[in-house]
Amino acid sequence: MPIQSFSHVGVCCSDLERSTSFYVNVLGFQEVFTMELGDEVAATMEMEPGIRFVSRMLRRGDLRVELLNWITPDVDSPRTRRSMTAFGMTHLCFRVDDVEELAEAIRANGGELHRDTLSELPGSGVGGGPLRLIYVTDPDGVRIEFMSGAPVL
């Protein structure tokens, strides 16, 4: 097969340091590198020349997230959760021991815990225990699911 491996997920962010803090302090990522890019990748970004942005690659195990912080052009888009029925990527998901252990870190690092999204599936988790699902959002509204009691697939 010509595809070698998965590389990364890109996330556009309004404040690079705040988003880095969230992904590092809440989700356990580590910074890999940061670089400023511009017109040399305008074609790939599907933009006209005159662009500048900072790319910061983060790593957690074999998962990579690239934070993109635009300098030029100005970015003006809503920083809210997208609908789960919108076509395209809907969320990232992480297995956790207990979402409550992360609640304060989520708030302290610019994210939000959406308690109204909590679902529990009794008997569906590891060892017949409950499977709990809940959404949080990063500082720019990117939806992240936390699952506790989930088996490793």
| pLDDT tens-place string over residues 116-135 | 999 999 999 999 999 999 99
How many structural domains compose the chain?
A: 2
Q: Over 90: is that where the pLDDT of 78 sits? A: no
> What is the number of other CB atoms lying within 10 angstroms of the CB of residue 48?
9
pLDDT tens digits, 84-108: 998 888 999 999 998 888 999 999 9
CATH assignment at residue 57:
3.10.180.10
Q: Do residues 102 and 67 share a domain? A: no
Query: What pLDDT was estimated at residue 91?
Result: 95
Q: Is residue 65 part of a domain?
A: yes
Longest dimension (CA), the chain: 56
Q: Is residue 137 part of a domain?
A: yes
Is 64:10 a contact under the CB 8 Å cutoff?
Answer: no
Q: Do residues 100 and 141 share a domain? A: yes
Query: What pLDDT was estimated at residue 4?
Result: 86
Q: Is residue 153 part of a domain?
A: no
Q: Structural domain of residue 106, as residue ranges? A: 92-148
Q: Is residue 87 part of a domain?
A: no
Is 127:121 a contact under the CB 8 Å cutoff?
Answer: no
Q: What is the mean pLDDT of the chain?
A: 94
Mean pLDDT (whole number) for 131-143: 95
Is 112:106 a contact under the CB 8 Å cutoff?
Answer: yes
Q: Is residue 40 part of a domain?
A: yes
Query: What pLDDT was estimated at residue 151?
Result: 85
